[in-house]
Structure 1
Amino acid sequence: MPDPEAPEEQAPALSPRRRQLLDAALHVITDEGLRGLTHRAVDRRAGLPEGSCSAYLRTRAALEAALTEYVAAALLADVNALAEQLRCTLEDGGEAAGVEGALELFERWVDQRELLVARLELTMAATRDDALAQLLADHRSRLVEIVATIMEATGKEHSAARAEALVASYDGILLAALLKPDDQRRTFLTRSLELLGTSLAAHEPA
């Protein structure tokens, strides 16, 4: 089990230009899907001269891989921040505040849907691309470890299998929430998280 107090490995910092290009790519794939993700489309979205994206990411495969890392790292950073928030609130006896933090994170992801939609598009691409699949698998393993740590910190029965099931269940909840009308999302997320927490509180099958 990873130690929540241990320092985390830091990915190399992105240059301002590379970040600008990847942020533009994030919006392109959200608005136009994976088929619309081209170097020219990224240049246009970033407001940069044609050829700027290809100067940094020469091939489509390089662009997709870099965007996959960018999206996965952003989501992972949010979950890391939630884990730290939970650790602090639990130390103060404020578990309810931690649960509210999880709800707020999910709402933000759904309302600012770029990260979730891009991840869905890239996940579908990864079913046909072994390199992308490996990138997503590596980030998912780290996410499962963080969730297992959160479960342990909140006193819930935990294991790698439970954490992996929880992550998969969250994926489904988030996808369903994307399709809900704006005025129904919070109620749906609250109810779903409560039901999921209850179901995972049971003992694991033998």
Structure 2
Amino acid sequence: MEHDAWPLVLDLAGVFFFAVSGSLMAAQKNFDIVGSLFLGSLTGLGGGVIRDLVLGRFPNAFAEPVYLAPPVAAAVVVFFLLPAVVKLRRTLLLFDAAGLALFCTTGTITALTLGANPISGALLGTTTAIGGGLLRDTVANVRPQLFDRHDIYAVPALLGAGLVAFLWQVGAYTPASGGAVAVVVFALRVLSLRFRWRVPFAAVVAHREGRATPPAD
């Protein structure tokens, strides 16, 4: 496969994995097939659209029709294979982790290629990785994983995007190194779910007491 084709392949794979997680949530919420396609598309394409708009360019999701294929494929796969899925919640989280891992890499590279500095590139890569999941959870009316105090949803993406930006800056980024970063992010995300890792609360008192403290009137 040509070197220039790898970013597109990884980007489309990320769209597919995130779209599957969106379609699985649609099935969990008893949406119809149209709702499944919409939620899958929103999840798979939302983060990239946000990134592209911030970068001031027409979103790839609408400029390149090929980006519409993964959400359609995801909706079809979930429609036919859902009865074989025993643990829906765990499957959704695994596909979400795979999308997160790929998008924090491809999103950062896209931003850097278009002229963003390493810090901005890493932030936009993180936005690409978490944006679709945030939109999915909001539209499906569930608490976004980003705000779950028992989750470190954004941390693996931020670490992966930062590492990709560093490799790019020192001239060491290759498709292989990008793939390795994605594998590390995926593993970190899965381990965080397995062992329920979390970051400190927003306030020391809340962390010590194990609960949030309401603001004073």
Please give the TM-score of this superposition, normalised by the length of structure 2. Answer: 0.34
Give the greater-gyration-radius structure (CA).
1
TM-score normalized by the length of structure 1: 0.35
